[in-house]
Amino acid sequence: MIPLPAECELVELQIRGDDRGSLIAIENGSQIPFDVKRVYYIFGTTAGTSRGFHAHHDLRQFAICVAGSCVMTLDDGVQRYQVRLDRPDLGLQIGSPIWREMSEFSPDCVLLVLADAPYQDSDYIRDYADFQQIARKSAGDEA
Ligand code: TYD
């Protein structure tokens, strides 16, 4: 098993395959543990680009590399974890607060992200030192 922060989980998605090929369906209440309020996807990433470099105060996301591959680095404020997303039937749930960086995008990578809230700039934590403070407080609250 790939080690991940407690706020994150890898989920194998059910493939509905037949001799025509494969299909994966995701609905609220099925395959993912939240109601989807937003969908975005990242593609055509320039070679060598890394992106992300932020956390969220309160957001749940579910990332699926529906084509190609990329590497997701997850940081819970104590430790960094890396997972390569390279299968359209593998979803990564990311809770909060988790610092994330995305890198090693293949030229054909399409990274689909489902989120449980609309885009809100005020939910972003873009400063790593701020994130560490927030993560420490969040871990303390849970202890
Ligand atoms: P950005 O947050 O820089 O992407 P990442 O951190 O994942 O590398 O987003 C790029 C631009 O797209 C920025 O202007 C904000 C905008 N954006 C939206 O309008 N809605 C969204 O859901 C997201 C994720 C970004």
How do residues 38-83 score in pLDDT, each as one tens digit?
999 999 999 999 999 999 999 999 999 999 999 999 999 999 999 9
Other beta carbons within 10 Å of 6: 10
pLDDT computed for residue 29 by the predictor: 87
Burial class (CB in 10 A: 0-12, 13-18, 19+), 116: middle
Other beta carbons within 10 Å of 89: 14
Question: 121 alpha carbon to ligand 1 midpoint, in Å?
Answer: 9
Report residue 44 as tokens: 């055509």
pLDDT computed for residue 1 by the predictor: 80
Set 37, 38, 51, 54: catalytic member: 54
Residue 143 has pLDDT above 80, yes or no: no
Classify domain 28-138 by CATH number. 2.60.120.10
Of 39, 40, 120, the one to substitute when testing ligand 1's pocket (max ligand atoms within 8 A of C-beta) is: 40
Ligand 1 proximity of 40 Cβ (cutoff 6 Å)? yes
pLDDT computed for residue 99 by the predictor: 98
pLDDT in tens, 75-126: 999 999 999 999 999 999 999 999 999 999 999 999 999 999 999 999 999 9
pLDDT computed for residue 67 by the predictor: 98
The answer to whether residue 54 is catalytic is yes
- In Å, how far from its chain's centre is CA 17? 25
What pTM was computed for the model? Answer: 0.96
Residue 22 has pLDDT above 80, yes or no: yes
Mean pLDDT of 33-42: 97
Q: Where are the domains of the chain?
A: 28-138
Ligand 1 proximity of 124 Cβ (cutoff 6 Å)? no
Ligand 1 proximity of 119 Cβ (cutoff 6 Å)? yes
pLDDT computed for residue 103 by the predictor: 98
pLDDT computed for residue 142 by the predictor: 77
Annotate 55-80 with DSSP letters as a single string: EESS--EEEEEEES-EEEEEE-SS-E
Ligand 1 proximity of 37 Cβ (cutoff 6 Å)? no
